[in-house]
Amino acid sequence: MSEFEKNPANDELVEKLTEQTPELTETIEQGHKEDQPNIEEESKSDQVVEPKQEGISLQTLLQTKRKEIIAILAIVALAIVAFVGYNIYDSQPKSIIDEVKVQFSGYEETGKLTYNSEEIASKIEELSYRKAGFNNNQAKALVQKDPVAYSEVSRNPKLVAMLQKAEAMITSVQFNFDRTSELKNGDEVTFTITTNSQSAAVKAEKKTFKVADLKEYEKVSTADLLKETPVTFTGFNGYGIASITEKPNKDGYFNFEDNKRPTNLKNGDTVTLTVSVTYINELKSKGKVVDNNKVEVTVEGLKDLKDVKNFADLLKKNDDYSKSEHQNSSFSTYTLESQGSYLKVIPEENKKSNGKVSLITVYKVTWSSGNSKEVRYKYYGYQAYLLKDGNLDLDAASKVSSWGSKDLEGLKAELATEGYKVFEEKKSE
């Protein structure tokens, strides 16, 4: 007969009663020995004519063994009380809050909490199996998902009912910490056990733990990082752009604020950089953290356009380009009227230059043929490299033009979206 086919509720109790009443066993054995006839005395009693009466009456036994019987009855009474008390205790929900063991790891403000959640879950299961009627060994086997134990349970309807009851108790209990991450020393975290059943095997209770033993981060200066990957400014005063120097084969330390490169900068402006999230996480994995997630850099070193010796030559090329595209004929004529010039600086990775300058001029183009007339707005211009000496490489300049539009304001808005700014020509003093 397997252990699951015995009466599972009383196995341990029988063992306990046997352990608790050794005096009872010893007294009974002693009484039995005293009741046995003495063989040597019988051999010497040949002279006795009447045979000795065998056995002892109940009254005689009560008179001669009164103390022993009282002791036995007292032991039995105590055993009954213990049995009842044990059953009452065993039916009450148990506290497991002191079974929770926490561990804090990581660094200040980003610390993590781990605890013996699997052990707590197993304890809840074991107590639930016990309360449902399984004994210690059976409960442990079920907690361990022993296939043999489950097979034996499945063959016994009574055990199946006990198992279903235990599983209902288990699912009625939930436990968790209110916080397990982003912790700092001194924080308090609370472990809570809840249940929606009055028959649960464990108590609903709480316990608070204080966060401790988290390590301090090593501070990294944002200013020092900026020295490794400095910000450079190219273009002209009022038309400058910012660029972040990147380290070879490494992710950049900084991004422009809102991931938008500032343009049309002038000397004295400030540019805000943010430390990249990727780099912050990389530092944290090494136990380091930046002292500031943002840094401001002042724009400086941009030259004025009047200092570019051949800039006027680029502007004249725009005029020549537009006229070459609108030559009069015997059938039609063109009238070109400048509506202003626009400038933007294009960042360039070519170390031989400081980027490109794109200078365009918008024209009002009036086409006439007989009694027909049409007005369109077009722009023509060039892109030229800005050399290290501050001049433009006009020989390698490339043409820029548009198909044209009947809406001048719409064209201006389009240019602004593309980063162009009105070019205000200043005469040399």
Residue 1: its pLDDT value, please?
57
Chain position carrying tokens 């900068």: 265
Residue 356: its pLDDT value, please?
86
> What is the pLDDT averaged over residues 56-81?
73
pLDDT digit string (tens) for 132-180?
A: 999 999 999 999 999 999 999 999 999 999 999 999 999 999 999 999 9
pLDDT band at 60 (very low <50, low <70, confident <90, very high): confident
Q: Pick 351 or 256 by higher pLDDT.
A: 256
pLDDT digit string (tens) for 362-410?
A: 999 999 999 999 999 999 999 998 887 778 999 999 999 999 899 999 9
> What is the pLDDT averaged over residues 26-40?
44
pLDDT band at 88 (very low <50, low <70, confident <90, very high): low
Burial annotation 5-33 (CB, 10 A radius, 16+ → b, else e): eeebeeeebeeebeeebeebeebeeeeee
Q: Give the Cα separation of 350 and 383 in Å (integer).
A: 15
Residue 157: its pLDDT value, please?
96
Residue 29: its pLDDT value, please?
45
pLDDT band at 47 (very low <50, low <70, confident <90, very high): very low
- CB of 354 closer than 8 Å to CB of 348: yes
Residue 4: its pLDDT value, please?
64
Burial annotation 292-302 (CB, 10 A radius, 16+ → b, else e): eeebebebeeb
Instruction: Report whether pLDDT(263) > 90.
Output: no
Strand 421-422 versus strand 218-220 pairing type: unpaired
Residue 164: its pLDDT value, please?
96
> What is the pLDDT averaged over residues 2-9?
55
Contacts of 368 (CB under 8 A, 6+ apart): 332, 333, 334, 335
Q: Identify each DSSP E strand in 263-327 by its residue range.
A: 270-275, 288-290, 294-298
End-to-end Cα, the chain, rounded Å? 114
Q: Pick 37 or 334 by higher pLDDT.
A: 334
Instruction: Report whether pLDDT(77) > 80.
Output: no
pLDDT digit string (tens) for 285-327?
A: 888 999 999 999 999 998 888 888 888 899 999 999 999 999 9
Q: Give the Cα separation of 165 and 128 in Å (integer).
A: 8
Q: Among residues of the chain, what percentage have pLDDT more than 90?
A: 55
> What is the pLDDT averaged over residues 84-109?
83
> What is the pLDDT averaged over residues 195-213?
96
> What is the pLDDT averaged over residues 119-139?
96
3-class secondary structure, 9: coil
The helix (H) or strand (E) run that includes residue 132 is: helix 117-132
Q: Give the Cα separation of 82 and 88 in Å (integer).
A: 10
Q: Which two tokens stand for residue 23?
A: 């005096």
Of 51-65, 83-97, 122-136, the least confident: 51-65
Q: Give the Cα separation of 357 and 236 in Å (integer).
A: 9
pLDDT band at 101 (very low <50, low <70, confident <90, very high): very high
Quickly count: other Cβ atoms within 10 Å of residue 316's Cβ. Answer: 10
Strand 333-346 versus strand 421-422 pairing type: antiparallel
- CB of 172 closer than 8 Å to CB of 197: yes
Burial class of residue 164 in the structure, from the number of CB atoms within 10 Å of its CB (0-12 exposed, 13-18 middle, 19+ buried): exposed
Residue 281: its pLDDT value, please?
87
Q: Which two tokens stand for residue 90?
A: 């065993």
pLDDT band at 31 (very low <50, low <70, confident <90, very high): very low
Burial annotation 260-279 (CB, 10 A radius, 16+ → b, else e): eebbbbeeebebebbbbeeb
Residue 247: its pLDDT value, please?
72
Phi, psi of 411 (to 5 degrees): -65, -40
Instruction: Report whether pLDDT(226) > 50.
Output: yes
Summary mean pLDDT of the chain? 84
Residue 120: its pLDDT value, please?
97
Residue 28: its pLDDT value, please?
37
Quickly count: other Cβ atoms within 10 Å of residue 113's Cβ. Answer: 19
> What is the pLDDT averaged over residues 172-191?
97
- pTM score above 0.75: no
Virtual torsion, Cα 24, 26, 27, 30, nearest 10 deg: 160
